[in-house]
């Protein structure tokens, strides 16, 4: 039933898009048909595939590195409160600072190549994952932990059976937010460094007012965001079943 509602809403959005494009003008907002034709041309030329590959490599590299660093760090901060209380003020300060402010420094130290792009994506994705993981561990019922300690459960058992399962929804939420910001930072990185990937195509088509091609890139980015979010939702569902079985 939800799939039907989503499909109907999608058709409604396309209809609204068509009406707006006819009233505003195709020079500003292309019709869905013109956008579809532009997509076919970009696919046939191979430009979309090359740009998509470049952006996915940058996104997956930076986002994967952020997850590998942020989840363990957030768990450690939550499990060992002196560590968490020491680091949280710096984590929150960095999370509140616009990442764009660091781009000139990143370019100075890492140049305009692949490493700079990866680090820009990493910097955007890592903070929300740390914050949510840390919050998830702190939100675990302390009475359960005390009960486990009263029956002489080891620290590893408490971590495996209480802390980690209890913080999973928070971790997934952090990964979702991190993925969104990481995708945005992928485009930002491609605009500020070597102009390649989907961000490069956005710059080219936006500057030349080729709006049909521009809309194709925007839609591709939206699809990537939906796919990543749905994948994480599936992971959360599987982990929830694991928690129930465990």
**Cα separations (Å) of 32 from 23, 43, 48, 129, 246?**
14, 16, 18, 36, 49
CB 30 within 8 A of CB 205: no
Which residue has 């929150």 as its token pair?
92
- pTM recorded for the entire structure: 0.84
pLDDT tens per residue, range 160-213: 777 778 888 899 889 989 998 999 899 888 888 767 788 888 888 888 888 889
CATH architecture of 63-245: Orthogonal Bundle (1.10)
What residue spans define the domains of the chain? 63-245
Residues of the chain with pLDDT under 50: 245
What is the reported pLDDT for 246? 52
What is the reported pLDDT for 193? 75
C-alpha to C-alpha distance for 221 and 61, rounded to whole angstroms: 17
What is the reported pLDDT for 60? 93
Kind and range of the H or E run holding 32: helix 32-45
What is the reported pLDDT for 242? 53
What is the reported pLDDT for 67? 94
């Amino acid at each position: 039933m939800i799939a039907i509602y989503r499909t109907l809403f999608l058709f409604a959005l396309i209809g609204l898009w068509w009406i707006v494009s006819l009233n505003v003008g195709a020079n500003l907002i292309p019709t869905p048909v013109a956008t579809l034709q532009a997509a076919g041309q970009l696919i046939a030329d191979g430009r979309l595939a090359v740009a998509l590959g470049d952006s996915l490599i940058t996104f997956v590299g930076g986002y994967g590195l952020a997850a590998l660093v942020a989840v363990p760090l957030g768990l450690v901060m939550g499990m060992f409160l002196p560590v968490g209380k020491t680091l949280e003020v710096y984590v929150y300060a960095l999370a509140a600072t616009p990442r764009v402010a660091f781009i000139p420094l990143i370019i100075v130290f890492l140049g305009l190549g692949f490493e700079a792009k990866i680090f820009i994506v990493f910097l955007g994705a890592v903070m929300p994952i740390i914050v949510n993981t840390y919050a998830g561990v702190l939100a675990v019922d302390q009475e359960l932990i005390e009960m486990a300690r009263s029956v002489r459960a080891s620290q590893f058992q408490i971590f495996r059976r209480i802390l980690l399962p209890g913080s999973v929804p928070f971790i997934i939420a952090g990964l979702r937010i991190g993925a969104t910001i990481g995708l945005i930072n992928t485009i930002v990185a491609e605009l500020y460094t070597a102009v390649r990937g989907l961000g490069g195509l956005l710059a080219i088509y936006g500057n030349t007012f080729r709006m049909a091609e521009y809309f194709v890139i925007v839609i591709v980015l939206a699809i990537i965001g939906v796919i990543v979010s749905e994948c994480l939702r599936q992971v959360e569902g599987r982990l929830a079943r694991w928690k129930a079985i465990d």
